[in-house]
Structure formats: structure tokens, C-alpha cells
Amino acid sequence: MVGRVYAATVGAIFAAAAVLFTWNAWRFDWLRGYDAFANDLYATVVGTDFRLPSTAETSVWHTPPLWFALAGELRRLADGAGWEHVQRPGQLLAAAAGLAVCLVAFLLARTLWPERRVLHVVALVLTAASPALVRASAMYHPETLAAALAGAGLLVSVRGLRTRPTLATGAGAGALFGLGALTRAWALPMLCAALLALGLDAWRRGRWGPVVALAAVSAVLVGPWLVNQQVAHGDAFAFNRAAPATSLLERRPTSFYLGPHALHVFDRPVTPAFRNELVPHLYADWWGDWALTWDTPPPPAPGQLLEEGVVGARVRQNVVGIVPTLLALAGLVALTLLAVSRRSLAVGLLPLSAAALGAAYLLFAVRFPSTDGDTIKATYLLAMLPAAAVGAAFVVDSAVPRGRGWSIAVGIGLAVLVAVQLPFLVL
Amino acid sequence: MAPRPLTDARAAWLGLAVAAVFVGAQVAVAAGWSVSHDDPTNLELTARCFAREKLLQVEPTRDDPIASSASGGTLTTVVEGNLVTVAIVSHASEAERLRQAYLALGGDVESRLEVRGRYVRLWHRPPSPAQQQTANDCEY
């Protein structure tokens, strides 16, 4: 791909993503996103009283406060300016963070393989056209900001590991991971992965400064929050419900792990089908809108019918998702093999961070089972997206000898992927 | 002999193979389940609710070609002495088709016909609120 075409393509994709995310954030009814009302109560308390909310004031008191502080301040300013929709600046903040996630994926690809421009473009498109990111970018919710900050921490770590980590690498990554963990706890497993990778690098080189800086800066930022949770609620990772008093192995039925109704993702991928079956539930929520909170009326009462076309649109999304999902899985495995084979911690940190987040999420979902499937949401795994997209792009760019013909075929494939999804992605 | 170095292409294809195994395993589990288990249909759930929770006698529908044409099936029961034929549809357009077909019969059908979501019910006499509630309780 020649330089001008590359620059124009990348610019056009970022511009299109910016328009899409902004349009959706502007149009999406803020109350349709999950936890929206509770989020607004939290943001109001932080923005007006400058304190953390109590357990009685909002059901999301267990979520770290950074996004709520920002959204609360924006809310206060919007209120002062006489805006009718005072939550909209918070949604636009989520949209901007969604765009930052796209930037992280693109820069990760560029950092690891600077010369492979097709790979950069594929990673960028797969990220920007990922329905879970598009939906989260319109919501009044901290998910995208956490994913952007944790992704940026990952990027700084990878850049350092690719050459030679410095104190600035460690401190910068620590600041980003720390802020990410102050937004959503999902950044913590990614921080642990970075600590492990930088720790192994320090072991090799005998230079411990960067990893100590990473640990120290992130601890300074997120430590007070975790201590507060431990002191106030008896658990640094407290949640808004008590965990059942049974062993972890008994908290979920076998169907949670096996997904026996997985084939229904291709005929009825909406609530209540395969509720609480981990893989199909996550898949249908990532590629479609399992809980029916996007562009439809709320889920109907028992016996009532969904509007015509609602199921069909989601079936189409789930069919479209097969190839990118397969590529993402293959990519994470391929990057793992590559990292082991070439002893590359920079490459290895991507699958390692994805695995850490996946394991942390699995533990959470098992620890806090819910009958309505409330603890299974694709957007909880959003921080995994840049690594998965880069992995998928690596497979696309490596499986077949590179050439002009293949580049054109990949371009057509990406265009089809986006075009088929547009009716769903644009509100 | 030195091991072959892992090229990018080889890593990619190995990744694809492992991913295919993961996806294949999930499909195999789901296919195996669907072959060996029959999840109850809405008709079966409705019949079970009438029989077990409302203690009604449920029978197959006879002599009602309109109800029998419903894609989700049909059943007949008697609620507080009022015979009702329940047809289950899949789409709003199908519900409308059944409604129009019943209305075309003429007479007092309109006062005996109920369309609620996927359920189209034709009562023998205009239903009382209590009879309607009993039927509504068994919607899925």
C-alpha cells in the first residue's frame, strides 16, 4: 500500500468512526444503556458533593470513580449552560474514548509491525466496526474510557518492550493502567499482565527500574481506591451483591461452561435464549444486542412478539461475526506462539493481557452468578479488543503471501464486513 | 536436525487450526445437545402450564383449520366452563392473518376473539376477566 493511499485510508477510517460514534452518542437514549440511571446518580453525587456515593445512593457504588467524576463535572457544566440533555456530554466522552480505543489498536499494530500497512488497516477496521465498541461508545457508561486507558497502558508497555523499557515507560504505563483501574476494575488484570511482562524483561536485562516504576505509579493511583473499598465494604473488589456462600465450582451449572444452546445464535440471538450460557451469551452480545437495549423497544413481556426484523438483524450480525471471531481467536493463539518462538515479550504481552482479562472476567462471572444473566456482558471485555483486533489482522496479513491481489481482496472483505453491519451500527 | 523456525505464516495457520478446534468443539457440544434434547416448545410450555398449574384438561384442537394452520401449533381447553382454542404464531403478520380468517367467519366472533402477542385465542363465549387472566398466566 503506497504512502498516500495508506494515509488517506487511515484518515478516512478515523473520520468515519468519529462521525459514527458521535452520531450514535447524540441519538442514543442515555437511559437505554445498562446501569444508566445508577451511573447518573453516581455522577451527580461526585459532581456536586465531591464525595463517593453510599451503597444506598446508587447500585454502582462499587465502580471506581474516575469516569463519574468527569461525567459529573460535564453534567454540572451542561446543567449550568441550560442543556436539556445533561447526560449527553458523558455519552460524548464515551464516544471520544471509543475512538481512542481505535487509535490504540492502530498504534499497537504499527508499533509491532511498522512496515505492514495492510495489517494496520485491518486492525483499525476490525476495532472500529466491532459492534460491542460501537454500542458502548454511545452509552452513558465508563466502559470505553477504561478500555482506552488500559489499551494505552498496553501500548506504552509494548513500545517499551519492543526496544528497551525505560523509567518513563514504566511510569507512563503505570499512570495509564492506574487511571484505567480507577475507571473500571477490568484494567487491573491487564496491569498484572504488564507487570509480568516487564518483570520478565527486567529479569533478562537486570534492570528493574521500569517495572518498579510501573508498580509504584499504578499503586499510587489505584491503591487508595482499593483501600477505601476494603475498609468501607470489607473487600477491595466489592460488588453490589454478596457472593453465594457455596464453592466456586457449584455456583454455575454445567450449561454455563458448555453452552448447549450455542446454535441458537444463528436463529434467535436475543434474550432470553441461551441466557447464562457463557460463550453464546457473550458472542451474541458482542456481535448483536442480546439484551435488546440498542435500537429496539425493551424486551417484550412473555407471550408478546418482537417487532418484525429485530431478530433477523441480530441473526445477520451473528453470522457476520463468525469470521472476525475466528480470526481474533486464531490471532491471539498465533501471537502467543510467535512470542514464545521469538522470545518477544512485546508480542507476548498482547495475548497475555487478553488472557488475564478473560480469566478475571470468568472468575467474576462465576463468583457472582445471576438468574437474569446480568453479569454476562460483552462490553466487560472491551479492553481485550485492541489485542484481539491486532491478532486477527496479523493472521489476515500472514496466512497468505502478501501481494497486491491479496491486499485488494482484504480491502473488499473489510468493505463487505462494514457495509453489511452498517444498518445495525448506525442509529 | 534443528527445528523449523516458526514463520509468520506458520503461526497464523497454527492459530487458525487451534481456533477452528475451539469453535468446532463448541458447535459439536451444541449439536450433540440439540440432537439428544428437545427443548419444550411454546405450545408444550403452555399445555404444561394449563395442565399442571391451572389443573385444566388440555386436548389437541379438532375441526378448526384456522387454528391448525398456526406455525406454533394449537391446543384446546376449557376454562371455567368456557371452551377456548389457543393458536400460537411466530410473527405479528401471522397473528393478523389468523385474526382476519376468524373475523371472516362472521357472527359474534369479534367478541370471542383475543390476539395477544404470539397467542390467538378463540373462546366459545365472550370470556370473563377471570377466564382471560387464567389464559394470560400461561403465556410464554
Q: Is the pLDDT of residue A403 over 90?
A: no
Instruction: For residues B64-93, give the mean pLDDT.
Output: 95
User: Which ipTM score applies to this complex?
Assistant: 0.90
Segment among A269-273, B17-21, B98-102, B119-123 with least mean pLDDT? A269-273
pLDDT at B1 over 80: no
pLDDT, tens only, A162-202: 999 999 999 999 999 999 999 999 999 999 999 999 999 99
pLDDT in tens, A356-380: 999 999 999 999 998 888 899 999 9
Q: Is the minimum CB–CB distance between A319 and chain B shorter than 8 Å?
A: no
Of A261, A304, A337, which has the smallest distance from its Cβ to B117's Cβ?
A304
| The predicted structure's pLDDT at residue B2 | 61
Instruction: Quote the pLDDT of residue A287.
Output: 97
- Res. A261: pLDDT tops 70: yes
Interface of A with B in 268-297 (CB under 8 A): 279-280
**Domain contains A417:** yes
How far A309 CA sits from the closest chain B CA (Å)? 10
In a domain, residue A255? The reply is no
In terms of pLDDT, which residue wins out, A371 or A313? A313
Task: State yes or no: pLDDT of A349 exceeds 80.
Answer: yes
Q: Please give the average per-residue pLDDT across A388-395, as a whole number.
A: 98
Whether A346 shows a pLDDT value over 90: the answer reads yes
Q: Average pLDDT for residues A342-354, to the nearest whole number?
A: 97
In a domain, A276, yes or no: no
Q: Residue A256 above 80 pLDDT?
A: yes
Find all residues with CB under 8 Å of A320, minimum gap 6, and list them: A287, A417, A420, A421
* Residues in chain A closer than 8 A to B18 (CB atoms): 329-330, 333
Report the residue of B29, B38, B93 to disrupt the A interface, i.e. the one with the largest count of A CBs within 10 Å.
Answer: B29
User: Tell me, what's the pLDDT at A401?
Assistant: 81
B92–A399 CB contact, under 8 Å: no
Host domain of residue A164: 3-246+319-425
**For cell 445498562, what's the residue?**
A34
Handedness of CA A212, A214, A215, A217 (dihedral sign): positive
Residue A61 covered by a domain: yes
Look at residue A299 in the predicted model and tell me its pLDDT. Answer: 79
pLDDT at A92: 97
Distance from the Cα of A326 to chain B's closest Cα (Å) equals: 6
CA atoms lying within 13 Å on the CB side of residue A26? 7
Candidates A193, A174, A177, A151; CA nearest to A66 is A177
Residue A412's pLDDT is what? 95
Query: In Å, how far is A260's CA from the nearest CA of chain B?
Result: 4
User: What pLDDT is recorded for position A305?
Assistant: 84
Q: What is the pTM of this model?
A: 0.88
Cell 495489517 belongs to residue: A119
Nearest to A302 among B12, B16, B140 (CB): B140
Cβ pair A286, A358 in contact under 8 A: no
The pLDDT confidence band at residue B3, using thresholds 50, 70 and 90, is: low
Query: How far, in Å, CA of A150 to CA of A353, rounded?
Result: 10
For A210-237, the pLDDT digits (tens) are 999 999 999 999 999 999 999 999 999 9
The domain total for chain A is: 1
Tell me which of A296 and A88 has the higher pLDDT.
A88
* Omega within 30 of 0 (cis) for the link into A272: yes
Write out pLDDT tens, residues B95-119: 999 999 999 998 899 999 999 999 9
Torsion of CA B103, B108, B112, B115, to 10 degrees: 20
Residues of B with Cβ-Cβ distance to A395 under 8 angstroms: 12, 15-16
Percentage of residues in chain B with pLDDT exceeding 90? 84
In chain B, where the domains are located = 7-39, 42-137
**DSSP code of A88?**
H
Which pLDDT value is given to residue A404? 85
Distance of CA A276 to the CA centre of its chain: 20
Residues with Cβ within 8 Å of residue A60, at least 6 apart in sequence: A35, A38, A39, A42, A240
Mean pLDDT of chain A, nearest integer = 94
- In this complex, the residue of A304, A305, A398 whose CB is nearest that of residue B11 is A398
Most confident of A199-208, A237-246, B31-40: A199-208
Instruction: Inform me whether the pLDDT recorded for A2 exceeds 80.
Output: no
What distance in Å separates residue A340's CA from the closest CA in chain B?
10
Contact yes or no for A304 and B95 at CB 8 A: no
